[in-house]
Amino acid sequence: MAFPESFRASPNRAEQPTHERRGVVIHHTVMPYEQTIAYMLDPVSRVSYHAVIAKNGERCTLVPDEQIAWHAGVSSFQGRPHCNAFLLGLAFEGDTYRAPLTAAQIDSALEWIARRWVQYGWSPDSIIDHRQVAPGRKDDLNPVEWLRFQAAMNGWAAALP
C-alpha cells in the first residue's frame, strides 16, 4: 500500500556535511500531526525530523535524506556521538505512552524504510528509538511500542529475499 506523502521544507537542518544515512532514530511527536509540522517549519524551534507519520499513515517529509535534520540532540549510537549526522529522524504522530501506534503508522514507516533499506545497506540493527540514543534525556518511544514496532520490522526484514 502506498501512503500519501508530501514535502514541506523545514529550515531546521544542515545542508553540509552530507548526511551519512547509516540508519534511523524513531521518535514520537506528542503533538498532533499538523501542529508538529508547523513547529518543525518554525525556525525558532530549531528542531526537525526527516519525516513525520500521521495516525492514518500519511507522511510529510521535512528534510531530504542527504541533509542533517536536528532531531536527536545530544545522543550516541554504537559508541558514536551526534546521531543527527548519521541517523535519519522518523517520527510518529502522538504520544506512545498515551496511545499505541496505529497499524497504518507501522505500515507507513516500513514502507518509508523499505525505500531506503537496500540503497543504504540497513539491517534491523540500524534502526533505534530516541530513548536508546539519549538515555535519561528522552523517553520516546514507549518501550512496549518500540518492541511492537521492532517485531513488525524484524518480521518484514526476515521476509526479504
- CATH code of the region 5-155: 3.40.80.10
Sketch the domain layout of the chain as residue ranges.
5-155
DSSP string, the chain: -PPPEEE---S-EE-SSPP---EEEEEE-SS-HHHHHHHHH-TTT----SEEE-TTS-EEE-S-TTSEE--S-S-EETTEE-GGGTEEEEEESS-TTTSPPPHHHHHHHHHHHHHHHHHHT--GGGEEEHHHHSTTT--PSPHHHHHHHHHHHHHHHHT--
The tens-digit pLDDT sequence of the chain (161 residues) is 699 999 999 999 999 999 999 999 999 999 999 999 999 999 999 999 999 999 999 999 999 999 999 999 999 999 999 999 999 999 999 999 999 999 999 999 999 999 999 999 999 999 999 999 999 999 999 999 999 999 999 999 999 87
